[in-house]
Amino acid sequence: MLEAFFNPKQEGSSVRTEIIAGVTTFLTMSYIIFVNPEILSTTGMDRNAIFVATCVAAALGSLIMALVARWPIGMAPGMGLNAFFAFTVVGAMGFTWQQALGAVFISGLIFLLLTVTGVRSWLIAGIPQSMRSAVAAGIGLFLGIIALKSSGIVVASQATLVELGKVTDTGPLLAILGFFIIAALDALKVRGAILIGILVVTIVSMILGVSHFNGVVSMPPSIAPTFLQLDILGALHSGLLHVILVFVLVEVFDATGTLIGVAKRAKLIEEGKPNRLGRALLADSTAIVAGSLLGTSSTTAYVESASGVQAGGRTGLTALVIAILFLAALFFSPLAGAVPVYATAPALLYVAGLMMRELVEVEWEDITEAAPAALTAMMMPLTYSIANGLAFGFISYAVLKTLTGRFRDVHPATWIVAILFVIRFAIV
């Protein structure tokens, strides 16, 4: 049955290879099971319910990708947008997590509409490569400052805004240990390096009494505290409209870039040959809406899927294996609840470093490209908001191109986004 539906032989693969590829991808992206509840629970959401929502959203998203697009790509709540959800929308702006979930739901519907109508492709084509790279790097810097702050490595200072914390304390030392483990294992090409780092630090923290062992396996906890708790009407508040815009923009950049990048590596998109990119785009759009109903931030395609492709994954069978493994992870909630912030912070910090590699794609020789890109990346961590980084970047890009007589170089999509952010600053 698997052979008939997914036809791995036609793609130069086999059922065994697809299963191995699915396990490989799951190991590289399963850190989200521990990191997402840690981040979203800071909003007051029930941690156990978030754990379930994360696993189910990842399983559902990966299943849709498997059956609709039949591509070897795993889906799960995205890094960056979960931090924006928790620390900016709820933490800094003061909206409830129910309203934030409503904003994710609305952004998912818009995203779905943009995909179906083809506007999504138009938007992607209209956003300069330098800006797209800067957005990814900026989100990385944003995750970095969150990781350093939560682990106590960086602390507040009245004199200098931030300063180095007491790195000889137990918490910061555990975070530093975790970062070194993850980086070293990844350099040695060990599968699941991030997951191993999280688990090692968790075990050490239990030995030191920083966290408590509550068991490993149990029946899944209830998802009721977050399931269908979104406040859609509350999300239509004027202050959340630009938040919805940010969700949509980052979803467009992140998901589309990941899908195309991984698909190219798997040779699923080749010139002159039919491909299922349209179905893949539809699958990830649908997953966002489903995730918001379950009670988690935006679900997106994971770049870690490239590890499964490297292992030989070429069809949706790889994604099906990922979905099954996320469902199996539901039974490990006691272990997830024992993971301290000092174990998830190094994972965040390492992912941040990987995302900052995008800066090499910026056209640094052209100041009208470089300056907006630099502003985008810097403003995200320094204002603790992805939204502000996007706003400064897009507005400065349009202004600098105009002032230097290169008005026609600005795509209408960029102008629309820049104008929307100007309106946002004018009415807030």
What DSSP string runs through 120-131?
HHHHHHHS-HHH
Only one residue has tokens 């209209």, namely: 126
120: pLDDT strictly greater than 90: no
Position 261 scores a pLDDT of 65
- On the 0-12 / 13-18 / 19+ scale of CB atoms within 10 A, 427 is exposed
Average pLDDT over residues 302-327: 83
Position 368 scores a pLDDT of 93
Q: How many Å apart are CA 206 and CA 209, to the nearest integer? A: 5
Q: How many Å apart are CA 321 and CA 46, to the nearest integer? A: 28
Position 374 scores a pLDDT of 94
Position 175 scores a pLDDT of 93
| Residue among 38, 57, 48, 147 nearest 101 (CA) | 57
Residues in the chain: 428
Average pLDDT over residues 186-198: 84
Average pLDDT over residues 357-369: 89
Confidence band of 56 (pLDDT split at 50, 70, 90): very high
Average pLDDT over residues 171-190: 92
Element (H, E) at 342: helix 341-355
Q: Which of 119-123, 164-168, 280-284 has the highest mean pLDDT?
A: 164-168
427: pLDDT strictly greater than 70: no
Q: How many Å apart are CA 364 and CA 97, to the nearest integer? A: 39
Position 72 scores a pLDDT of 87
What are the pLDDT digits (tens) for 253-272? 667 667 766 776 667 766 55
Average pLDDT over residues 19-31: 82
Between the alpha carbon of residue 11 and those of residues 8, 274, 308, 318, 374, the distances in Å are 5, 13, 14, 12, 41
What are the pLDDT digits (tens) for 202-235? 899 999 988 888 777 888 888 999 999 888 888 8
421: pLDDT strictly greater than 70: yes
% of the chain with per-residue pLDDT over 90? 21
Average pLDDT over residues 375-388: 85
- Please give the backbone phi and psi of residue 54, each rounded to the nearest 5 degrees, phi first: -60, -50
Position 315 scores a pLDDT of 84
User: Are 38 and 344 in contact, with CB atoms under 8 Å apart?
Assistant: yes
Query: Of 26-30, 91-95, 309-313, 339-343, where does mean pLDDT reach its minimum?
Result: 309-313
Query: Of 43-52, 306-315, 338-347, 412-421, where does mean pLDDT reach its minimum?
Result: 306-315
Report H helices in 151-237.
170-187, 193-208, 232-235
Query: Of 51-55, 75-79, 115-119, where does mean pLDDT reach its minimum?
Result: 115-119
What is the average pLDDT score of the chain? 84
25: pLDDT strictly greater than 90: no
Confidence band of 274 (pLDDT split at 50, 70, 90): low
The whole model's pTM is what? 0.77
What are the pLDDT digits (tens) for 133-162? 888 788 788 888 888 988 899 998 888 888
- Please give the backbone phi and psi of residue 311, each rounded to the nearest 5 degrees, phi first: -80, 0
Average pLDDT over residues 362-376: 92
Measured from the Cβ of residue 232, the count of other Cβ atoms closer than 10 Å reads 15
